[in-house]
Amino acid sequence: MPIFSVRGFRGLWLLLSLIWRFVQWIAPAVEAVILFLIRPITWIVVGAIPVVILVSVRSLPWTSWMLRGIDQFTFWLILTVAEAVLFLFAIAFDRGLITSFRFAVKSLFRNLLRTILTGLAVVVLGLAASLVVTILQFIDRVMAGNSSTLNAIASSRWDLPSQMPPSYIPTLEQGAASKPTDVKPTAAMSWTFYGGTINKEKPSRENFVFFFATDPKTVTTMLPDMDLYSAQQRAQIDQWCDEIVKDRRKVILGEERLEALNKRVGERIKVTSFNYKDIDLEVEIIGRLPKGRYGQVGVMNSEYFYNAILEQYPKDHNGTKHPMADKCFNLAFLRVPNMNAFNKVAEQVESSPSFTEPAVKVETESSGVAAFLESYRNLLDGLRYLATPAMLVTMVVIIATAISISVRERRKEMAILKVLGFGPRQILAMVLAEAVLVGGFAGFVSTGLHYLVLQQGMGGIPFPIAWFSKIPIPVESLAWGPLLGGACALVGSLIPAWLASRVKVADVFAKTA
């Protein structure tokens, strides 16, 4: 039955009605449980505040500079001191805190429909904001690089994509060091990009495969972001790489690509190349890379590829070289300990007479990514300076509107509270607590869904840039939602809360009489 029809809308309306009746039926029980556990819940919320703030400040793209350079010990020391100070404050004002939270919970359940709709709006906007922030945070992290080590990228100076002869590899991996005083990279990794289809009659996105042809021994030590995998996963990849060294026909393929190809570990496939004509390779899949950054790509032994293009092709074509024989090496990653070593290696390579046709340039990994991101600059600036602030402002407006309506409906209640001895500050705190609870909880739900669905379910955000197929979502993102949602709720409810605290008892009861 099509949903965009009279019967479809009726069915949807019936489903929503049943869900709403269930929510109304279970809401009193949920409220009773929350009120019964109000003290531990209050203390959990109070204890989570420093964690949410400090973790978010450290990882958000706009604020990470504040804690840049602070080591782990100092960070945890700051967090411990903040927790201690906040808990001492909470102990001193325990009664007021409990009263404010109890009042906020009762107020939220009083108009359940408005609370749910406001929360859903914050969840949707929070999801969008978390998505944007994750992309920006990842790009900023890659552009900043690693402070302890640097990955230099050696590539063709004038060609895009980079194409160099494989004879460059041995000298490049030594950083073109020719004198005892020259600096050598601490580790190196060469890349050749090999792509093709397993169905040459009907090539499509579903039967496409892409491999990094490299030295298998360098995969877990040099491939970027391998530290995102667990020690057990890296050990398993090392075992597979040892097998690839022994049998050059064996490969590892990303889990998501295997699913798209409808293939399993142990199967053989024949790849018809699209970037190296007539270099068609038969490979055996012996392992799978976990979902995430490398979930759509594979790793093969570069010796297998170079043997096919440099040796086997001339044998099959009367000694004729392959047209791409001197252009089949793409990139070299050179690891150096610091910027001084990088500058020295870059000077050695770029001035070496061994690299003239074509000339070679050396840049940091962050500079290499920046070159790829140049075409995305306007889009990223729009996300950073327009889209994200617009979403946050919308969240503020939605919460401010909901709290304003709630306060206007409960003016008599505020007046009665004042008669019972509640001061303006207590009423202000109660209304603010109500808004922050909605914003913070809805923000946590949004980032929780964001992390569970995209990271755990899909292995990251499908946003292919440079040589990244997916953007991983850090666990720190779970703190962004409560912070952004709570902060927007706090800002949006300030004026309604202030108006509620300024209610005049005489005016309210005069109108009632």
Residues 337 and 419 in one domain: no
**Which residues lie closer than 8 Å to 336 by C-beta, 6 or more apart?**
149, 150, 152, 175, 183, 185, 186, 342, 345
Could you say which of 358, 385, 410 is where a domain stops?
358
Inform me whether the pLDDT recorded for 306 exceeds 90: yes
Q: Provide mean pLDDT across the span 82-105.
A: 75
Token pair 């906040």 in the structure block, residue: 86
71 located within any domain: no
Q: How many domains does the chain have?
A: 2
Average pLDDT, the chain: 83
41 located within any domain: no
What are the backbone angles phi and psi of residue 272, rounded to the nearest 5°?
-95, 110
Domain carrying residue 113: 92-144+376-512
**pLDDT for residue 49:** 79
Could you say which of 298, 328, 358 is where a domain stops?
358
Residues 110 and 219 in one domain: no
> Residue 250: pLDDT band by 50, 70, 90 thresholds?
very high
230 located within any domain: yes
Residues 319 and 231 in one domain: yes
Inform me whether the pLDDT recorded for 469 exceeds 70: no
Of 24-38, 115-129, 269-283, 293-307, the one with minimum mean pLDDT is 24-38
Residues 227 and 275 in one domain: yes
Taking the CA atoms of the chain, what radius of gyration do you get in angstroms? Answer: 30
For residue range 141-177, what is the model confidence (pLDDT) as tens digits?
A: 766 655 455 778 888 888 778 889 999 999 998 988 8
Sign, Cα dihedral of 482, 433, 64, 230: negative
For residue range 383-402, what is the model confidence (pLDDT) as tens digits?
A: 788 888 888 899 899 888 98
Residues 423 and 495 in one domain: yes
For residue range 17-75, what is the model confidence (pLDDT) as tens digits?
A: 788 788 778 877 877 777 777 777 777 777 787 878 887 777 776 666 666 666 666 77
Residues 428 and 327 in one domain: no
Residues 208 and 342 in one domain: yes
Residues 333 and 248 in one domain: yes
**pLDDT for residue 210:** 92
Residues 198 and 332 in one domain: yes
Residues 480 and 423 in one domain: yes
**What count of other Cβ atoms lies within 10 Å of the Cβ of residue 370?**
16
154 located within any domain: no
Q: Provide mean pLDDT across the span 229-237.
A: 87
Could you say which of 325, 358, 391 is where a domain stops?
358
Polymer length of the chain: 513
82 located within any domain: no
For residue range 479-509, what is the model confidence (pLDDT) as tens digits?
A: 888 988 889 999 999 998 898 888 887 777 6
The better pLDDT of the pair 371, 242 is held by 242
34 located within any domain: no
For residue range 29-45, what is the model confidence (pLDDT) as tens digits?
A: 877 777 777 777 777 77
Q: Provide mean pLDDT across the span 254-281.
A: 90
CA distance 63 to 75: 15
46 located within any domain: no
Highest mean pLDDT, choosing among 68-77, 291-300, 445-454, 465-474: 445-454
Residues 345 and 232 in one domain: yes
Angle between helical axes of 477-501 and 388-409 (0-180°, round to 10): 40
209 located within any domain: yes
> Residue 372: pLDDT band by 50, 70, 90 thresholds?
low
Residues 421 and 454 in one domain: yes
**pLDDT for residue 147:** 47
Burial of 4 (0-12, 13-18, 19+ CB in 10 A): exposed
